[in-house]
Chains A and B, each alone.
Chain A
Amino acid sequence: VVMTQSPATLSVSPGERATVSCRASQSISSNLAWYQQKPGQAPRLLIYGASTRATAIPTRFSGSGSGTEFTLTISSLQSEDFAVYYCQHSASWPATFGQGTKVEI
């Protein structure tokens, strides 16, 4: 399964809404996760099952979609949210990632 994210880079001001899209090359039902990665750090699980927030993830992060089209929304960007975001299909091996979306100021 090929995962394609858009856009590659998203320029947003603090307090604004950010939306990242992810498309799967075939249906993956709701087996979609989102990760956040900051420079020099390991990725962090944000969302799984397309819309379930992982432990301790703020409510400003939300996910939606099913089948082949998915969206990550950050409702009001905080300074600590500027990072690279990856989608990943989690249903089967190999569990491929999208190429990443950099959310920048």
Chain B
Amino acid sequence: EVQLLGSGGGLEQPGGSLRLSCAASGFTLSSFAMTWVRQAPGKGLECISTIGAGVSGTLYADSVKGRFTISRDISKSTLFLQMNTLRAEDTAIYYCAKGHSSGWFLFDYWGQGMLVTVSS
């Protein structure tokens, strides 16, 4: 059974850093693209970063480019999102999502979501 278990959310001040983790089980992490999707309170969904399968590269939304870094540790089957220089507008629920076999940007499994609050 595929499972994605996120951790690492919380309250951080503007300009601070947080690292989100997403522990994957039930599939081989390196074989599928993985994406971080966020949802601001009461708002819609925004794809912010993707890491491709295998040795494929990474993609970032303009809103986080240069501040956030996506990575994965295959040995630990864990996906990460390093978030630096946090802003109030980064406040959101962050989901990790697994890419479908039919496409990187189809998300067939999702983590439970982690709330990140950026406030002084």
Contact = CB atoms under 8 A, between A and B. Distances in A.
What is the predominant secondary structure among interface residues of chain B facing chain A?
strand
A90 B50 contact: no
Category for how many chain B residues contact A: 20 to 34
Given A55-B108, A91-B105, A93-B105, A45 B100 contact: yes
A43 B102 contact: no
Contacts of B100: 45, 48
Interface string B99-120: 0101101111011110000000
B45 A90 contact: no
Which residue of A86, A96, A99 has the most chain B CB atoms within 10 A of its CB atom? A96
Contacts of B53: none
Contacts, number: 55
A45 B105 contact: no
Contacts of A96: 47
A42 B110 contact: yes
Interface string A88-105: 101111111111100000
A100 B40 CA distance: 13
B74 interface: no
A2 interface: no
Interface of B: 35, 37, 44-47, 50, 59, 61, 95, 100, 102-103, 105-108, 110-113
Interface of A: 31, 33, 35, 42-45, 48-49, 54-55, 86, 88, 90-100
